[in-house]
């Protein structure tokens, strides 16, 4: 570790600012998983989890700002694609202008997904469609799904839980588990001792300044 370049502490300050937080929001709370013990972070149960450690976005639009593709990037890529495509099309086949698009019924794009949601109401497939819609909103054109924001807002806390700690330590033989959904662990430092393990029922995104591992075997498993 002696030859490791020193990190700029402000990096974590910048990272927290993205979530609308200051460093004092973390105080000195540490998540410590002791030897031969298991700690599970599960947004679906929420048992034993201090509310201050579970970071919840105000809505799907804020979640897009945190982890999604910025709408400005989506718009720019769309304009570039349309522009390149138009170069090779005859005049009669070129894309409609903005005014022509505006003249179309605003409900036209809503049809297929609304029909699917109505068809799957009270079925096991409904949540899958909602989660697909959230992913499309986050990483695609959010404007196309703006009419669904109220619905999506009700489901993002459990589907995209954020766990916030000053530091996380998984001791030798300890297991840190994450429940379903796309979990995000936001911390300053993550320490995994020899033999420590992190398990995920869903998936895990780690947003931290530094990860420290002692020599030995470390396992990060999913599913």
For 181-220, the pLDDT digits (tens) are 889 998 889 999 989 999 999 889 998 888 888 654 445 5
With 90 as the cut, is the pLDDT of residue 177 above it? yes
Task: Taking the CA atoms of 85, 108, 111 and 180 in sequence, report the sign of the dihedral they define.
Answer: positive
Please state the pTM of the whole predicted model: 0.67
CA distances from 112 to 108, 125, 174 (A): 9, 15, 47
The band of 25, judged by pLDDT with boundaries at 50, 70 and 90, is low
Q: What is the pLDDT of residue 38?
A: 94
């Amino acid at each position: 570790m002696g030859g490791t370049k020193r990190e700029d502490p402000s990096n974590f300050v910048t990272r927290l600012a993205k979530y609308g937080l200051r460093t004092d929001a973390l105080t000195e709370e540490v998540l410590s998983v002791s030897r031969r013990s298991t700690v599970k972070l599960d947004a679906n149960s929420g048992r034993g989890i201090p509310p201050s450690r579970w970071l919840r976005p105000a809505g799907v639009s804020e979640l897009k700002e945190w982890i999604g593709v910025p709408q400005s990037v989506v718009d720019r890529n769309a304009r570039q694609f349309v522009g390149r495509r138009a170069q090779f099309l005859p005049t009669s086949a070129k894309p409609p202008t903005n005014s022509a698009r505006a003249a179309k019924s605003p409900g036209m794009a809503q049809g297929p997904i609304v029909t699917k949601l109505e068809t799957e109401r009270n079925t096991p497939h409904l949540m899958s469609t909602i989660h697909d819609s959230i992913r499309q909103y986050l990483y695609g054109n959010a404007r196309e799904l703006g009419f669904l924001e109220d619905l999506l807002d009700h489901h993002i806390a459990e589907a995209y839980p954020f766990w916030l700690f000053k530091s996380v330590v998984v001791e030798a033989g300890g297991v840190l588990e994450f429940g379903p959904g796309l979990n995000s662990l936001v911390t300053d430092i993550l320490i995994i001792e020899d033999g420590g393990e992190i398990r995920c029922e869903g998936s895990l995104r780690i947003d931290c300044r530094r990860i420290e591992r002692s020599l030995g075997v470390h396992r990060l498993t999913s599913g």
